[in-house]
Structure 1
Amino acid sequence: MHDIRLVRSDPDAFDAALAKRGASPAADAILALDEERRAVQTRMQEGQTRRNEASKAIGKAMGQGDTATAEALKAEVAGLKETLPSLEAEEKALSAKQADALAALPNLPADDVPQGADENDNVEVSRWGTPREFDFEPQEHADFAPALGLDFETAAEISGARFVFMRGQMARLNRALGAMMLDMQTAAGFVECVPPLLVKDDALFGTGQLPKFAEDLFRTTDDKWLIPTAEVSLTNAVREQILDPQALPMKLTALTPCFRSEAGAAGKDTRGLIRQHQFDKVELVAITAPDQSEAMHEAMCTAAEAVLQALDLPYRKVLLCTGDMSFSARKTYDLEVWLPGQNTYREISSISNCGDFQARRMNARFKPEGSKKTEFVHTLNGSGLAVGRTLVAVLENGQNADGSVTLPSALVPYMGGIDKLEPA
């Protein structure tokens, strides 16, 4: 959500920032609505003031025996009582229309975000690790992991495409990865949470998925939504609140199932675990004061990168361009892990600073020390990490010619001492 004062103060700059994101100019339309709303509001306030003045004057006229004036004033008050409700309704409708117009616009990019149309214009920031050299042709996980307990056929019979049924050592590996990630993120200062998986419309509006991206979500028969990420539940934990500045920054984490319809991903990554309707993810969320958010963004990247480094998985860090960022983000880093089966880097985490964009939609504020006025907090979110995609990276980077997979040493304690997955 955008501050209307920002649009009023410099409409050209506002439209220029939207243009960087590939969005059409919107300032003129929003300011026209704003002008119309303020005109109605002025008429309403003038009418209320006149009604109060006339009501007081009636008593004075009656006390002076001026019946004619009193009756005229009564008629005027009666007329105002009839017209004011319609003005109030008109002002309310225009306010809602203006709010909807502002809510439909994406967040404005930070100044240091590169301008570009899509992922091809992203900027690589750094790399870590060296991709392993194989003495055989490495395979994609979907080709060799079924022998290790990754069952797509059974899942398809039960639920359809883009689901998986894990058994035995594969199920244990999935659990081990989630547990390891949670342990590392709580050690980094994030508070572990168990949030709801079903949320109301307001929660998804707050984080920016609704109303624009409803087709990417799963809705229940009682008009709730399955979370696409724990970002929704964790970030909305502060909605409609005025936070104590001493409580900031607030750092939260959760391991949850996530559910996405992948409506816009037809034909993409149809094999394997890369793009599923249901998957596990460790989410990181931070709520900060405005002057803390940039440093927190870097710290959250470090926390996510630490997991990849502990698993000895080569990756690169990428700064997303304006055309590749999510709707709510003002700046995003992607971590892309090396997948030898595909011979490329693939996204395994997106860490975004949303500024006050989500906070305005949620009305989440804090009162700075010594200030009488509240300010909107800044919100940040990121994966620390996506469990399924990390599992893919562990499988593909650790694969052996005989179909087994050698596990990273950091995972062995979580696997009960098992250091290798063997084909059944």
Structure 2
Amino acid sequence: MTGREDPKQVRPDFLLNPLAPALDAGSPSLALAGGPLRFTHLSITLFSAHAAPSMVVSAAELGAYREGLDGPQRASFDHRLDLLTTARPPMPLAGRSFPLAFHRPLIMGIVNVTPDSFSDGGKFYHVDQAIAQAHALMAAGADLVDIGGESTRPGAKPVWPEEERRRIIPVIEGLAGSGAVISVDTRRAEVMAAALQAGAQIINDVSALSYDDQSLDLVREADVPVILMHALGEPATMQDDPRYGDVLFDVYRWLDARIRLCIDHGINAGRLLIDPGIGFGKSLRHNLDLINGLAAFHALGVPLLLGVSRKRFIGALSREEPADQRLPGSLAAGLMGWSRGVHILRVHDVGETAQALRVYQGLSDSALLGLAMQSGIKDQQGRESDSFQGNGTGTR
């Protein structure tokens, strides 16, 4: 929780994918994070220390709803709605002439340089194997590669910083001249510093800069993008009966508080990204509620990353398949995320994910074109009807 009053949370009740049969090109709607996805309704929760009952308001009724708010509430509502509906600006990256742009969904490929990661532990533990895997992921369509040297799976034990550096620094150095956009998955400031020196451009911290009290200063001084992830507790114990009042509300407010803390500490708001942390201190029900409510996080105003690849909830919803047999479920969950405007999907299976996204986007673009044509036909019919009725020569 934030420990402060935040009078308004705005989030879509549901996102309307342009393919949805119920979508009418003539219905009032708003853009989700400035992208092609649009929504027609909002579930609005007014809260201070605690959430008040939610209400659902259509896009057409937002003006009337807004007029019923008092001054401070209206200002907060306008601020959240603006964050919810505007596009995310590109993020400059060290050593690159082109920024990280969010006009299309991005794919982050996972390279675990660990002996004990839940999905592929030990498979890319050696430097040459890890570098080769990163190149393979980029060739398959990865926009970024995420290099990690400490497993944070449920039940994982921490490793010494020296060992973490030994695992990942040679890999990052080996990729630094390849044109790769490199993210380092670590929660330790000294490892962050070494990784940035070796050529990493993004920090991905599962503790949202809370594990190491030096990490806030390091990120501020380095002025690099940082992914703030929500996790409940430590990896070794985080799945021991995790509890929330309302998981979407609680994770939203926690990430809001971390964003504000970073900004108050002098970190550039334009360098922040968020991740709700699927599977990190969450039950199956918690994970499902967060995935279904992903669009709410756009009201925090920063790019949204989702990591669902091969995670345990996929097996729980299916036949308890092991991690390396969860590709179909990973694709389904990833497409669900994209339908809610996720900017970056963190995955193991890049080629398959890239193909799924291309097909998904092709179908969506086709539907959008059809809706635009449908809207144009309706407009033309309306103009012809107006012209016909206006000439006074109607027939039976």
Higher relative contact order (CA 8 A, sep 6+): 1
TM-score, structure 1 length as denominator?
A: 0.23
TM-score, structure 2 length as denominator?
A: 0.24
Bigger CA radius of gyration: 1
